[in-house]
Structure 1
C-alpha cells in the first residue's frame, strides 16, 4: 500500500467511470455533487490507515506515562524546595525561579497525561508548546540556582544544599522533558506516522 499524500487526496489514476477524481475535475458545476461525495466516502473507508492521520500515533504510551509521572514528581519537589527557601531563608531580594519553573513543569506533565487519555492533535500541539516553555523555565532555574550556589557566598549550608538540589532537579527535568518532547513529536508529525503505519503493513 502506498503512502497517502499529506492532504489525503486519492491517486489521480482512479477509474473515471466510477465517478472518481478525473470526472470530478472535469466537472464545471459549482454545486456539490452528492454522488461524488459518496464515492469519496467509500474510497476513504477502504483505507484502513486513513483515520490514523487524523489523530496522534502513540507507539510508546507507557514510556510517555512514566516520563509524565517522573516530571510531575520533580516539579513538585522543585516547587517545595524553593518555597522553603522563600519562607525560611529569604533575607535579600530573591527571584524564586523555582516557584515559576516548578508549576510550569507540573502543568506540562499534567496535560501530557490528559493527552494520553484523549489523544487529540490539538491537545498534542498544546502539550508540545507547554513542554517547550517548561524546558526554558527549568533550564533558567537551574542556571540561576547554580550561580547562587557557586558565587552567592552562602553561609547557611542548608540553604546551599537546597539551591544545589533545585539545580540538580531542574537539570533532571530538562532531560525528562526533552525525551517527552521527542516522543510527542513522533506521535504527532505526519512523517513519523507514515513510518509507523508502514511498519504495521503486512509484507
Structure 2
C-alpha cells in the first residue's frame, strides 16, 4: 500500500507582511517554525516505526525549513524539487497583495483557462504550473510505494491531488483543492484494486487552537 502525506508549509513572512508569495523566497515565522515541529510530530505518530519513508520538498526556504523538521524525526534527507514550488506570480512576487489584486485578470467562466493571461508580467500560466507539478508527481510515483511525504504550497496542492487521481491536465483548469497553511493531506492507493483515495484533505488537527490558517 502506498500512502502520500502532502504538507502545505505553515505561516511564512509573506503571510504576515501581506505580500505576494509565489516564488518570492519568504521564510517561516516563529509561529510557522513551531507549526512545522507539530507537523513533523503528527507525521511521526501516523507512520509506523521501521516503515520506508521518502521526503520530497519544494526548494523555497519556507518549504525547506518545514522539511528539515520532518527529516530530523525520520532520519532521512529531503529531496528538493523546484517543480513543487508555488505558482510564479512574476513581477508581483514580493509586492503588496493589493498591487497584484489591482492588476489580476481572472480566468473566464468558460473557454481557455489553462493558458489564460492573468495580466502580470512574467507570471506562470496555470498550464505551466500544472505541467511541472504533474511531472514531479510522475517521478515521485515511480518509487515502489511505502510512505512518501511531499512538502509543498497551498496553490500547488491542487495539482498534486489532481495528478494523484489522474485528472487529465486539460480538465484541471477548473479544479481547486483548498487546504489551510500547515495542513496534512493524506492520499492512499490500495494494493488490490489500486484505487487512489483522498483520505483527508487539509487536516490541521495537529496544530491545535493556535493553527495558522
What TM-score does the superposition give when structure 2 sets the normalisation length?
0.24
Higher strand share: 2
The structure with the largest alpha-carbon Rg is 1
**Larger RCO (CA within 8 A; separation ≥ 6):** 2
